[in-house]
């Protein structure tokens, strides 16, 4: 039924009705409500599944053994690709046009889990070069919030390509982290890349 609900959201948008979800599942609403106490309960189940799908998509980028700047860009792009490929499901989970509150804790928990993983990676990098890792957790939460909000805003307007946004966010993140990590100069902003016509139009 959760899979059917996800299919219904993808096909009919984040405001899809319970009746439509039940129809996609091939059951009636009363049967659906034998398994879920109300719409909010169904939304929580869908949100959990959707977050798991996004996290699974990002996991390879998190685990990849790359240079720091490439690692950052890989993770950022994996997130952006996930929401770009499944925009209706993202809006259903994050914006909740009918029941906003039930899924908010799930989204917050997912951000917390992701920030914790990122903090671990940052901490390892800092310890490896003999730098105090005390700020890793704070930076991780800030970075997760920034990418989440920027991605959500971009999804609503697509004012630039995904590659351009990933380059911009990577440059912004790396500009701060490279000084702390003592690394080489970071990635050039996407605006300096002539191949990305979308971004040039923004400047």
Tens of pLDDT, residue by residue over 92-125, are 888 865 554 544 566 777 778 778 877 887 888 7
Question: Given pLDDT bands bounded at 50, 70 and 90, which one contains residue 191?
Answer: very low
Residue among 38, 47, 37, 61 at smallest CA distance from 9? 47
Each residue of 118-154: pLDDT tens digit? 788 788 877 877 878 888 888 888 888 999 999 999 9
CA 57 – CA 67 distance, rounded (Å): 20
In this structure, of 13-27, 82-96, 173-187, the range with the lowest mean pLDDT score is: 173-187
- Sorted by where each begins, the domain ranges of the chain are 47-200
Residue among 162, 198, 190 at smallest CA distance from 174? 190
- Which residue carries 């989440």 as its tokens? 148
CA 186 – CA 139 distance, rounded (Å): 17
The most confident of the ranges 69-83, 102-116, 181-195 is 69-83
Q: What is the mean pLDDT of the chain?
A: 81
CA 97 – CA 171 distance, rounded (Å): 34
Residue among 118, 165, 179 at smallest CA distance from 145? 118
Q: Write down the pTM of the prediction.
A: 0.77
CATH topology of domain 47-200: Tetracycline Repressor; domain 2 (1.10.357)
Residue 172, pLDDT above cutoff 70:
yes
Enter the tokens of residue 1. Answer: 């039924």
Give the per-residue pLDDT at 182: 63
- DSSP code for 189: P
């Amino acid at each position: 039924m959760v899979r059917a609900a996800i299919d219904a959201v993808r096909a009919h948008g984040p405001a899809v009705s319970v009746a439509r979800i039940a129809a996609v599942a091939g059951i009636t609403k009363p049967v659906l409500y034998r398994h879920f106490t109300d719409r909010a309960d169904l939304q929580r189940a869908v949100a959990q599944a959707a977050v798991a799908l996004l996290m699974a998509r990002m996991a390879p980028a998190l685990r990849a053994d790359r240079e720091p700047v490439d690692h950052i860009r890989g993770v950022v792009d994996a997130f952006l690709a996930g929401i770009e490929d499944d925009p209706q499901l993202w809006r259903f989970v994050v914006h909740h046009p009918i029941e906003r509150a039930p899924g908010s804790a799930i989204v917050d928990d997912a951000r917390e889990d992701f920030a914790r993983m990122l903090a671990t990676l940052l901490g390892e990098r800092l310890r490896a070069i003999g730098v105090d890792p005390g700020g890793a957790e704070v930076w991780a939460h800030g970075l997760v919030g920034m990418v989440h909000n920027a991605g959500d805003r971009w999804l609503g307007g697509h004012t630039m390509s995904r590659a351009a946004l990933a380059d911009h966010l990577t440059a912004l993140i790396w500009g701060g982290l490279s000084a702390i990590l003592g690394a080489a100069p970071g990635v050039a902003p996407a605006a300096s890349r002539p191949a990305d016509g979308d971004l040039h139009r923004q400047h």
